[in-house]
Structure 1
Amino acid sequence: MKLYLVRHGKDTPNVRGGWSNEPLTDEGIHEVIELSKKINDIQFDYVLSSDLKRVAQTCELLVSHLNWSGDVSYESRLREVNNGKLAGMPNEIAEVTFPGLYWNELNWDERYPEGESPKEFFERISSFLDDIKALYDNNDALLMITHHGVIEVILSIVSNVEYSNKIKKYKIPTASLSVVDL
């Protein structure tokens, strides 16, 4: 099975992401349209997308420009890390309300307030990947539109590299494509 992993386009820069429901910026929309031109010749069997706004918007733009006529499966398990109370919070307020609270500062079992821990996030994505392997055929090509953190976990699993929230091991720009074989 081949996974075509697409990170969403740029979204609102001055708020905390995670489970925020921020839209794409004009630049993000342009990035996605440019990406669609680069992947126009790839034939996909299925399209899966995170259900958060910035990713759903990326998905809608891509499938429109790719003339995709099939269904899109919107999956909540493809969401970025659940950053709980910080989701969508303006950065300046987050700095005052939760000083020093960043993803790479959390311990493995430590949760965001009303959110999830790095361990829970990793297990959610790992479980979803196992379900994908069981549901789809080895010859299928899946377009999966999601978030940096999700792609980072998948690349770590596929590459057999230990995942950690402490450092980013992969450079995954907005509106970029990563291809992996499962």
Structure 2
Amino acid sequence: MKLILIRHGETEGNHKGLYQGVKDYPLSEKGKLQNLKLKSKLDNINLNKVYYSEMERAKKTADAIFDFSSSEIYFEENSSFNEINFGLWDGRDYKYISTNYSEQFQCFIDDFKIFKFPEGESFKDFYNRVSEGIKEIIKVSKEEDNIAIVAHGGTIRAILCELLGFSYEGFYKFNINHGCYSLLTLYKDSAVLEVLNK
């Protein structure tokens, strides 16, 4: 089984350096261009299934890359692959958060794995949500399937950690670039990372 993990193109929020979870910003001009380039990179890959998060930036990216009128591809919006909910930090930048939530921000730096974003989601709940989502997709798929997931940086990190056996500890070992895809080959009891940020 081949699994292609796609991060949406850059958004206006990304360009401004904002924490962007459930708060949606439109794709920037750079992000739209990234998606067009990504479409050409994926032209020769035959897919059976495409899953995408509920966030508008992921849906716009999926729409730019894939032909939703195709009867040969199964499409599904899946909330398991939404970005983490940053709560009160959503839409704020590093300077604002580190100044106005200094104690909480230090707790996040000290151990992100046990942190719960104020009025948002805990990292553990987020990771478990994504992990369960990817396990379910693998469970209902065939060995010969080629599957794409259009999602977010945090979501893709969580999937990579889960499938490659890093668990929470490996979350910040990957940089996931906008408008790029990563590719894994999945076997019965293991996964191999073939491509990162192409």
Is the pair's TM-score, using the shorter chain for normalization, greater than 0.5? Answer: yes
Is 1:63 paired with 2:53? no
Question: Which of these residues, 26, 42, 46, is aligned with residue 45 of structure 2?
Answer: 42
TM-score, length of structure 2 as denominator length: 0.80
Select the structure with the greater relative contact order (CA < 8 A; seq sep ≥ 6): 1
Q: Distance in 2 between matches of 1:176 and 1:67?
A: 23
Q: Which amino acid aligns with 2:76?
A: S
Q: Which amino acid aligns with 2:115?
A: E
Q: Which amino acid aligns with 1:157?
A: E
SS at match of 1:120: helix
Alignment of 1:136-147 (within 5 A): 136-147=141-152
Structure 1's 48 and 116: CA in aligned 2 closer, same or farther, altered over 3 A?
Answer: same
Residue pair 1:22, 1:88 contacting (<8 A) in 2 also: no
SS at match of 2:125: helix
Q: Compare the two structures and name the one with the higher helix fraction.
A: 2
Q: Which amino acid aligns with 2:158?
A: V
1:22, CA displacement in angstroms?
Answer: 0.8
Q: What RMSD over aligned residues (CA atoms) do the two structures have, in Å?
A: 2.3
Q: Distance in 2 between matches of 1:78 and 1:121?
A: 9
Q: Which amino acid aligns with 2:178?
A: T
Is 1:181 paired with 2:185? yes
Q: Distance in 2 between matches of 1:156 and 1:91?
A: 25
Is 1:28 paired with 2:34? no
Query: Which structure 1 residue ranges, 4+ long, deviate > 6 Å from structure 2?
Result: none
The worse-fitting range, judged by mean Cα deviation, of 95-104 and 171-180 is 95-104
Question: Which of these residues, 146, 168, 172, is aligned with residue 172 of structure 2?
Answer: 168
